[in-house]
């Protein structure tokens, strides 16, 4: 696979972060990658404002760092932590995404580098700990742990009018040992309709008071083995009581297209079947006699 080279600049935003701001929930996860072609253990930390490369590892991979630049940090140990310098490194993720990034250098333990929000936002990387994944800018998903999880995302962007619902293009196929979990948004609720066998179709309902726009790659659910449950709140299993409550809310908030069609039929000015045409009478018509009727028969 051809490498995708990106030189990260301060203040840039890519992928998911173009439309969203970092939340208040701090998440951490360790992943494997490469720094200057050397295999490295990387800690993704959404609570860290700056990224730090371990001093010993920096020397190992041949980094020359500027010791005239220092940065005081809190949250590493009990006291204020001061970095030893700054350097530029090459970080490779997923085997082909290559980032050139200016990073602080300091002593670390347990990982070769901490990658904070100053890296993740311009790189377009986010973490989805609900399904145990790291999402890259092109929606490639990298697992953070070994559980069998399948994400359910929007395959295309949607524009849904008020009071309407739209079926997405993707069919969801479940095995006998899998359970489908769905989440919801403030103005949208996903429901699931049954298809042949264990195939399911996903429908997104707009329960808000204005046009709803959802972007490609949005997480709307996940598929887990039956013994597992999501790690993040807000997910309900299809068929559960809470799912049925959401389903009722979606039905109450959306327009019944069948009633719309019947009302439109009643409002038609013309009959729905052909009407025969008759000549316009120009005099008083005479009722035919009984003998004439018998003769016509």
Q: Is residue 276 part of a domain?
A: no
Cα–Cα distance measured from residue 73 to residue 48, given in angstroms and rounded to the nearest whole number: 9
Please report, for the domain that includes residue 77, its CATH number: 2.40.70.10
90 and 113 co-located in one domain: yes
29 and 62 co-located in one domain: yes
CA angle, 176 then 180 then 185, to 5°: 175
Distance, CA of 93 to chain centre: 21
Q: Which of 90, 120, 143 is the last residue of a domain?
A: 143
pLDDT of amino acid 295: 56
Judge contact between 94 and 140, C-beta under 8 A: yes
> How many independent structural domains does the chain possess?
2
162 and 92 co-located in one domain: no
Please state, in angstroms and as integers, the Cα–Cα distance from residue 137 to each residue in 59, 125, 134, 217, following that order.
Answer: 30, 6, 10, 10
Cβ partners under 8 Å of residue 243, min gap 6: 182, 236, 237
Cβ partners under 8 Å of residue 261, min gap 6: none
- For the segment 225-276, what is each residue's pLDDT rounded down to a tens digit? 776 776 666 788 888 999 999 999 999 888 754 445 455 555 555 666 777 7
114 and 159 co-located in one domain: no
* Exposed / middle / buried, residue 279 (Cβ in 10 Å: 0-12, 13-18, 19+): exposed
- For the segment 58-99, what is each residue's pLDDT rounded down to a tens digit? 999 999 989 898 888 776 656 677 888 999 999 988 777 889
Q: Is residue 220 part of a domain?
A: yes
170 and 221 co-located in one domain: yes
Please provide the DSSP assignment of 53-78 as one string: EEHHHHHHTT---BTT---EESSSSS
pTM given for the model: 0.47
122 and 247 co-located in one domain: no
Domain encompassing residue 211 = 149-253
């Amino acid at each position: 696979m051809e490498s995708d080279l990106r030189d990260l600049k301060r203040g840039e935003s890519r992928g998911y972060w173009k439309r969203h701001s970092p939340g208040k929930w701090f998440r951490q996860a360790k992943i494997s990658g490469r720094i200057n072609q050397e295999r490295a253990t990387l800690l993704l930390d959404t609570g860290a404002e700056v990224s730090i490369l371990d001093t010993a590892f920096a020397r190992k991979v041949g980094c020359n760092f500027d010791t005239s630049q220092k940065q005081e940090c809190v949250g590493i140990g009990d006291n204020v932590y001061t970095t030893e310098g700054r350097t530029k490194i090459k970080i490779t993720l997923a085997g082909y995404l290559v980032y050139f990034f200016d990073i602080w250098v300091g002593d670390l333990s347990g990982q070769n580098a901490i990658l904070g929000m100053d890296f993740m936002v311009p790189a377009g990387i986010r973490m989805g700990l609900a399904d145990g994944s790291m999402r890259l800018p092109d929606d490639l998903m990298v697992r953070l742990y070994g559980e069998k999880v399948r994400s359910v995302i929007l395959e295309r962007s949607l524009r849904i009018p008020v009071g309407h619902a739209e079926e997405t293009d993707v069919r969801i196929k479940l095995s006998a040992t899998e359970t489908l979990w769905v989440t919801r948004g403030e103005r949208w609720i996903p429901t699931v309709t049954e298809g042949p066998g264990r195939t399911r179709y996903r429908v997104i309902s707009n329960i808000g008071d204005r046009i709803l726009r959802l972007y490609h790659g949005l997480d709307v659910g996940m598929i887990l083995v039956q013994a597992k449950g999501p790690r993040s709140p807000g997910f309900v299993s299809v068929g559960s009581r809470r799912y049925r409550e959401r389903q009722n809310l979606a039905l109450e908030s959306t327009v019944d297209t069948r009633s719309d069609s019947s009302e439109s039929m009643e409002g038609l000015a013309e009959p729905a079947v052909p009407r025969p045409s008759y000549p316009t009478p120009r005099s008083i018509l005479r009722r035919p006699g009984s003998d004439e009727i018998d003769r016509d028969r």
